[in-house]
Amino acid sequence: MQVLIVGGTGFIGQALREDFIRHNIDTWVLTRYASEAYHVHWCPEKKTCETNKLHHITHIINLAGAGIADKKWTKTRKVELLASRIKTTEFLYALASTNCPKLKGYIGISGVNAFGFNDEKIHQEDDPFGTDFLSKLVFSWENAHRAFNQLPIFSILRLGMVLSPRGGAYVKIAGPLRWGLGAVPGTGSQWVPWIHLNDVIHILRLALDTPLGLVHVTVENATMKELTLAIARKENKKIYLPNIPVFLLRLIFGEMSCLLTESLRVTNEKISHYYEIKHGRLSSI
């Protein structure tokens, strides 16, 4: 088995490669900034790649995509969020079609934010897409992944908020807490689908041999208040400030504030048939 990780220098990708090394899985990382022997240089914007290093690849894990919560969603940023997922995946498919004769497995990630926001409904994988920006992004992203669906092993993992002190949302929430400036966003009652990084890694490794199709990768939904308090406890900090009003979050973050203020619930029933979640409580982060 020879695995190519796209987006392998990010938060999830680094942890995934470390896990694969421990399990003696040969791993390569497709990156714009190649500096290691296991790196394969490419530049999707210029349509260039070290294709001579791809001929032995048997599996691709596509984690590529600019961070959803890294910058405000200006028109320019929205174009970047879309292109870094869709155009990148389209170029990846073109490369794989002509340079990966041994390819038999593909795993792509997307997000659970495919349905709009609703306090009441618990969404399944086959529910209709919403009409907001995130739903449209996920729809186009998953369509790009489906170019690979003729392979024997094919999965699209819709990730909830991935939590770990190593990075991602945890660090964004923990930062203000460490300075005594932490507060619960919005009412705190909004639902947040989440998943521990370690479970994501285990499921990605499982998907190398098991075609999962389209699946939500989350644990039981938690509220934003529960999530924020759990991170505060992990950091041995207390929250003294009142909740941050929704109007203020919208003023600061614009449309992106929906990630903090809106409610979303999804089911994890399908993934439970393949994998038993190891970190099912917020106390485990």
> For 164-204, how does the pLDDT look when each residue is reduced to its tens digit (9 = 90+)?
999 999 999 999 999 999 999 999 999 999 999 999 999 99
Q: Which residues pair with 5 in a beta bridge?
A: 29, 61
The pLDDT of residue 221 is above 90: no
The mean pLDDT value for 96-105 works out to 98
Token pair 């990846």 in the structure block, residue:
92
Q: Which residues contact 261 (CB under 8 A, 6 or more apart)?
A: 185, 186, 190, 246, 249, 250
User: Which tens digits make up the pLDDT trace of 231-245?
Assistant: 999 999 999 999 999
Could you give all domains of the chain from N- to C-terminal order, each with its CATH number? Answer: 2-284 (3.40.50.720)
The mean pLDDT value for 89-110 works out to 98
| Cα distance between the two ends of the chain | 31
User: Which tens digits make up the pLDDT trace of 6-20?
Assistant: 999 899 999 999 999
The alpha-helical segments, DSSP class H, found in the chain are: 11-22, 75-83, 86-99, 133-145, 169-178, 197-207, 224-234, 246-253, 258-261, 269-272
Q: Which residues pair with 105 in a beta bridge?
A: 59, 153
